[in-house]
Amino acid sequence: MQRNPQLNAAGELQHLLSIEGLPREVLLQILDTAESFAGVTEREVKKVPILRGKSVFNLFFEPSTRTRTTFEIAAKRLSADVINLNIAVSSQSKGESLLDTVANLSAMQADIFVVRHASSGAPYLIARHVKPHEHVVNAGDGRHAHPTQGLLDLFTIRHYKKDFSRLIVAVVGDVLHSRVARSLIHGLTTLGAPEVRVIGPQTLLPSGVESLGVRVFHDMRAGLKDCDVVVMLRLQSERMGGALLPSAQEYFKNYGLTGEKLRLARPDAIVMHPGPMNRGVEIDSTVADGPHSVILPQVTFGIAVRMAVMSIVAGN
């Protein structure tokens, strides 16, 4: 069995590719370090010099403004130089291969590659081929993982709920296609959340999902009962009208989060969403803007978490 490519020989994090397979201590180290970065925004000079002189290359093979922007802000707050590369991949024009692109950038003295790719596993391929001092941070690969999102979700939950060991967390929606869901589930089970639920129609839940350590619910009302945390997943419009789901209206009726359904959860439950939201499809506006929602703080925490990840890997 191969060694986990994320950890170097000393067991330290050298790449962040997936939450799965990371020891508890590493996850906690990232969360604790993120905590200390959270104060940087309160100063006059919103920077620390830790990555001064280092180059962070944002390699986005899948377009994204939000994630790329937060990585850019995080890297700049660490005093790193940031270079953004948006590489559109069209099936007609197969340009440079993935590894050739990376090799060319290596030649330009890269230190960290932040990679988003439509194919699961792409960051692993890159991590196998970079130089020893280069680090790969996965910003989302296919359906497989979005570890920094998972971490900022964990950070958010810890901020509001403190102790994972008593939580019931529900993840609602298109788990089949969601890298966010997979990362969060791995993080919650590693940090000891006693019950993680997935709620959705059978067409949107992957085969053998129970093997991830979750309880499956098709009935949202039953699934939300007594939850401490409700995480709503984004439903992409492409899924509608085909053989997976008939329509947005029927989806919202059965799996959309409304105030009425939320009342089945605990009175102090928090509502999370990785964004961007489809109001009226997976979540009602009153809930999204309501007192249970921590969706905006998630975004702020995302910067501190990404600062923590980059400063930890770049130092190993």
Partner 1 sequence: MKLPDAEKLCEQLAAELKPRLGPKSAMIGLYTGGAWLAERLHAMLALAEPLGLMDIAFYRDDYHAQGLHHDPKRTRIPFDVNGRDLLLVDDVLYTGRTVRAAMNELFDYGRPASISLVVLADRGGRELPICAQHCGARVEVPAGMRLRLNRLAGGKLALALEPERAA
Partner 2 sequence: MRLHIKNGRLVDPATGKDGPGDLYIDEGKIVERVTSPQRTIDAKGLVVAPGFIDLSARLREPGFEYKATLESELDAAVAGGVTSLACPPDTDPPLDEPGLVDMLRRRALSLERARVYPVGALTTKLEGKALTEMAELAEAGCVAFSQANAPLADTQVLWRALQYAATFGFAVWLRAEDAWLAKGGVAHDGEVATRLGLPGIPGFAETIALSTILELARATGARVHVCRLSTAGAVELVRRAKAERLPVSCDVGIHHVHLCDMDLGYFDANCRLEPPLRSQRDRDALSRALADGTIDCLCSDHTPVDDDGKHLPFAEAEPGATGLELLLPLALKWGRARELSLAATLERITCRPARVLGVAAGSLAPGAPADLALFDPAAALRVTPEALKSQGKNTPFAGYELQGRVRVTVVAGNVVYEG
Task: Sketch the per residue contact string, 114 through 153, with partner 1: x for CB under 8 A, - otherwise.
Answer: ----------------------------------------
- Residue 83 interacts with, from partner 1, partner 2, none (CB under 5-8 Å by kind): none
Query: Does position 9 bind partner 2 by CB under 8 A?
Result: no
Task: Determine the residue type at 36.
Answer: S
Q: Is 134 or 282 the residue whose CB approaches partner 1 more closely?
A: 134
Which of the stretches 45-53, 154-162, 209-217, 290-298 binds partner 2 when contact is defined by CB under 8 A? Answer: 209-217
Among 68, 77, 116, 144, which residue interacts with partner 2 (rule: CB under 8 A)?
144
Q: Check: CB of residue 267 under 8 Å from CB of residue 226.
A: no
Using CB under 8 A as the binding rule, the residues of this chain from 296 to 315 that contact partner 1 are 311-312, 315
Q: Is 27 or 269 the residue whose CB approaches partner 1 more closely?
A: 27
CB of 38 to partner 1, least distance (A): 7
Q: How many residues bind partner 2 (CB under 8 A)?
A: 29
Task: Sketch the per residue contact string, 9 through 38, with partner 1: x for CB under 8 A, - otherwise.
Answer: ---x----------------x--xx-xx-x
